[in-house]
Structure 1
Amino acid sequence: MMGSEARFAVALKNPDAVAAIVSALRHVYGDEVARLMLVEGMSLADLIDAMFSAPLTHREAVRDITDGLDDFVISPDLGPMWHLRYIYGDEPGSLHVVDMEIATPNGTLASRDVWLRLVS
């Protein structure tokens, strides 16, 4: 029997990407801060910094962020139509992602202006 606290399982849309995000946050910030960031929220910029600082290839970090966004509550509410844009390095022809932003019909939000909280 489970005591007075009931626990509910949440079906994640991309559990592998979320696992990579959790691991990166734990690696960079430690268990307690990572847990707080997932529950209370963090900016997309903070997530990008953590993923790029984790022991992942750059390509894996970008893919895990992109795939994992469906498992986060995003604020402000973006509405039904939005697009993730990649910002590339300064070198001509660079495919090295250095930041991301979200484009909506109402404008573009920088990564520091987008708040993410893991779906609970």
Structure 2
Amino acid sequence: MMAPEARFAVSFKNPDAVASIVAALRHVYGDEVARLMLVEGMSLSNLIDAMFSAPLAHREAVRSITDGLDDFIISPDLGLMWHLRYIYGDQPGSLHVVDMEIATPDGTLASKDVWLRLSS
């Protein structure tokens, strides 16, 4: 007989990135709200804020968001061609990411306009 937890196993493209995102959401919002955000959805802006508030190195937070996007259902549908753009801090030459946006052939979406839900 299969163990109960084995029946609910999900295969992710980037499991380490998803684990980092889940841990950050749990740290910032608690278990119940994090679960709700993953299942019901959240804006990319909310995810960015949570990741930057979690006890992670800033570049690790950015990397986890970038790598983890493949495991989320993104709304609105972006089609096949889209590009994640990083928005950097105000200092000249800054490599400190402060926000992200998604560029598509039809225009650019701000992080607050992109909705993410963990695929299952």
Specify if TM > 0.5. yes
Q: Which residue of 2 aligns with 1:30?
A: 30
Give the superposition deviation at 1:61.
0.2
Residue 85 (structure 1) aligned with residue 55 (structure 2): no
> Over aligned residue pairs, what C-alpha RMSD do you find?
1.3
Residue 20 (structure 1) aligned with residue 17 (structure 2): no
Q: Which residue of 1 aligns with 2:110?
A: 110
For residue 45 of structure 2, give the secondary structure of its aligned residue in structure 1: helix
Q: In the aligned structure 2, how far is the partner of 1:9 from the partner of 1:61?
A: 25
Q: Which residue of 2 aligns with 1:95?
A: 95
Give the superposition deviation at 1:8.
4.0
Q: In the aligned structure 1, how far is the partner of 2:60 from the partner of 2:112?
A: 21
Q: Which residue of 2 aligns with 1:73?
A: 73
**Structure 1 length as normaliser, TM-score?**
0.94
Moved over 4 A (4+): none
Residue 59 (structure 1) aligned with residue 59 (structure 2): yes
Q: In the aligned structure 2, how far is the partner of 1:9 from the partner of 1:118?
A: 14
**Structure 2 length as normaliser, TM-score?**
0.94
List alignment gaps of at least 5 residues for structure 1.
none
Q: Number of paired residues?
A: 117
User: Which is helix-richer, 1 or 2?
Assistant: 2
List alignment gaps of at least 5 residues for structure 2.
none
Give the superposition deviation at 1:90.
0.3
Q: In the aligned structure 2, how far is the partner of 1:101 from the partner of 1:112?
A: 9
User: Identical aligned pairs, as a percentage?
Assistant: 88
Deviations 1:19-51 (A, max 9, x none): 000000000000000000000000000000000
